[in-house]
A = this chain, B = another copy of it.
Amino acid sequence: MREVAIVGIGQTPVGEHWDRSLRDLSVQAILDALDDAHIARADALYIGNMLSGELASQEHLGALVADHLGLAGMEAIKIEAACGSGGAAVRSGALAVASGQQDVVIAAGVEKMTEMSSNCTTRYLASAADGDYEAAQGFSFVAINALIMQRYMYEHGLHKEDFAPFAVNAHANAVGNPHAMFRRPITEAQFRAAKPICAPITLLDSSPMADGAAAVILCPLDRAREFSERPIRIAASALATDTVALHDRRDVLFLQAGYESARRAYRQAGVGPDDIDLFELHDAFTIMAALSLEATGFAERGQGVRLAQEGEITRRGRIPICTMGGLKGRGHPVGATGVYQIVEAVQQLRGQAGDNQIEARRAMTQNIGGSGATIVTHILETMD
């Protein structure tokens, strides 16, 4: 299998882009990534997206974006795995390069969520859950996460306020990220006073709906220096699934697919949690941050929250997470999020993270679809 490197990155600011369409955002991020790799075209495009059909009446997004890039002709497909679509698109691109059939490929993610009222968007987001047995009963995505959080608090004797460090850390890191949606810090007092969405989840446990696109350029590792002075090696890429419906899960407090995809990734890269310098995890809700830390071996069962309380998730801690703001601070354009995580990890590994720079040679990303039914884990490394 050919090894694969990332040689270009691009991203739009995350926010409410009422004046930009799905295709505009995609093209902006991809052209930036192509520029970053000093190229004008690629062999193929894998674009992660969840809701273009529902929100913009647009399927066939691969061909549409290739066309709008001025690159009609190239291979192009859309990859969908709910909120894990972006990570899955990067993995699809990496497999295409690894296969030897494509050399230089674009892996991108895009979501435009402000096209409709938030009411409809909430309904469509529930299509990441089991349509027949969860969504059709009115079980929204925030409700699913609220049940998990409630049970976690009960099992581990925690209070709602204990989750504050995740949101405080995410917002603190977003301040230094020019692409982040919420570039303002929040305090623990603000967290405690936040408006409830679906108890125990409040506004400040929740990542925002947003528009955005991000892209990376992939090529064979042995050609990486042609395109970049600081190529980043994809040391591991793994995707695992779990039951979609929460009621089918053996243990709703353990991300089995997070554990399994991390286990495969650690094995591919020949490393363990102790070898990871930063972790871009999927804090769609604060509870998911805790569960992701536990599934990947950074914390024992029930100890994810304590790790945060001890300050170990900040940029100066043992395992910095959400170093550019995470889903909470940077924003969560669902099908693009997995690509943003990888773009941000590359920024850190290249030393291009500005005020948020940490010392890092190896980064992990974990992108979650649904309430954990699809989880994609990548490990990235510098080549020096």
Contact = CB atoms under 8 A, between A and B. Distances in A.
Contacts of A58: 127, 131-132, 135
Interface string A268-298: 0000000000000000000000000000000
B79 A135 contact: no
A53 B123 CA distance: 11
Given A81-B77, A92-B92, A101-B95, A373 B67 contact: yes
A51 interface: yes
Given A67-B244, A67-B248, A239 B54 contact: no
A60 B99 contact: no
A80 B128 CA distance: 16
A42 interface: no
Contact of A62 (B2, B64, B78, B241): B241
Contacts of A59: 50-51, 80, 82, 127-128
A51 B52 CA distance: 11
A180 interface: no
A99 B95 contact: yes
Chain B CB within 10 Å — which of A50, A74, A98 has the most?
A98
Q: Interface majority SS on A: helix, strand, loop or mixed?
A: mixed
A16 interface: no
Contacts of A99: 1-2, 95-96, 98-100
A257 interface: yes
Contacts of A129: 60
Contacts of A329: none
Interface string A225-256: 00000000000011111111100100000001
Could you say how many copies of this chain the assembly holds? 2
A139 to B, nearest CB: 12
Given A53-B54, A59-B127, A73-B256, A132 B1 contact: no
A64 B123 CA distance: 18
A244 B60 contact: yes
Given A51-B59, A60-B128, A81-B62, A240 B75 contact: yes
A181 interface: no
A245 B81 CA distance: 27
A242 B72 contact: yes
Given A63-B242, A127-B60, A80 B81 contact: no
Nearest to A97: B99
Interface in A1-32: 1-2, 21, 23
A320 to B, nearest CB: 28
B239 A77 contact: yes
A344 interface: no
11 contacts: A51-B53, A56-B131, A57-B123, A59-B128, A60-B373, A63-B242, A64-B373, A73-B242, A75-B241, A77-B88, A92-B92
